[in-house]
Amino acid sequence: MEKILSLMRRCVEDYDMIQAGDRVAVGVSGGKDSLVTLTALQKLSQFYPKPFTVEAVTLDMGPVDGGAGMDFGPVADYCASIGVPFTLIPSEIAHIIFDLRKEKNPCSMCAKMRRGALHNALAERGIKKIALGHHFDDAVETFFLSLFYEGRISCFQPVTELTRMGITQIRPLLYCGEGMVRGAAKRLGLPVVFNPCPADGATKRQEVKELIRDLERSYPGLKERVFGSMQRLPLPEWEPVEHRRRPYAEQGEKGE
């Protein structure tokens, strides 16, 4: 966790993500990425020179086809154990997408509905900043997805200002590789919740993830070079504050 904390602090500082007095919600889906983000951000809040507070917000997608849905009880217990306020937001998004609309390609609509419900809940609670659990590998995969399927050189931004909602999205885990995140979640025994989504593991993102894995065998360091190029181009809002560009050789793909 020390290495993740170090990389998270570097990312927060490179993109000026947090200001003194911020109340930062972490969008906790129950997956390893969001739980590691929550854990690291809570630890960072204990010594970061700009004081801020952390809380967890979880959107319950609801059951699919009459199923039981996801049990967020262990997540709530974990938040209580580390002193983080926890809010569970109920919804029927899964029922709408899979049972009523029977979407064959549900991911885009699901993402939009989740964002809308989450942002509305934050606005109701007066929260203006949310941390998302996107990591290094997510960024590289999104870059390739945009290139292959949209014909654009694009990616989500480290910091996104949603001016209409008055909400700022931050992604403080961007300097941490998926292997590092997975290892931390396992070592810490985080309460990862099983995702019953019918589309889980059968997406274009999974295809691109596997393609990148294959390419890395022939071109070691491919992901690091792609990530660095995203900062050097730079993509909108990807150039670090004060032009600080640093190497990212510590992505933890080999068991970290």
- DSSP secondary structure letter of residue 105: S
pTM confidence score: 0.87
pLDDT beyond 90 at 82: yes
pLDDT beyond 90 at 138: yes
Q: Of 156, 164, 82, whose CA–CA distance to 116 is shortest?
A: 164
- For the chain, what is the mean pLDDT? 87
Mean of the pLDDT values across residues 97-126? 82
Amino acid at 243: H
- DSSP secondary structure letter of residue 235: P
Tell me the pLDDT band of 249, cut-offs 50, 70 and 90.
Answer: very low
For the chain, the maximum distance between any two Cα atoms, rounded to a whole number of angstroms, is 52
Helical residues (DSSP H) of the chain, grouped into ranges:
2-14, 32-45, 73-81, 93-94, 107-125, 136-150, 178-188, 204-218, 222-232
pLDDT beyond 80 at 122: yes
Amino acid at 48: Y
pLDDT beyond 70 at 3: yes
Residue ranges of domains in the chain: 2-243
Q: What is the pLDDT of residues 171-230, one digit of tens each?
A: 999 999 999 999 999 999 999 988 777 666 567 888 999 999 999 999 999 999 999 998
Specify the pLDDT at position 256.
Answer: 39
Specify the pLDDT at position 115.
Answer: 85
Task: Assign domain 2-243 to a CATH class.
Answer: alpha beta
Amino acid at 224: E
Tell me the pLDDT band of 247, cut-offs 50, 70 and 90.
Answer: very low
User: What percentage of residues in the chain have a pLDDT greater than 90?
Assistant: 59
- Phi, psi dihedrals of residue 47, rounded to the nearest 5°: -140, 0
pLDDT beyond 80 at 99: no
Mean of the pLDDT values across residues 10-15? 95
- DSSP secondary structure letter of residue 241: G
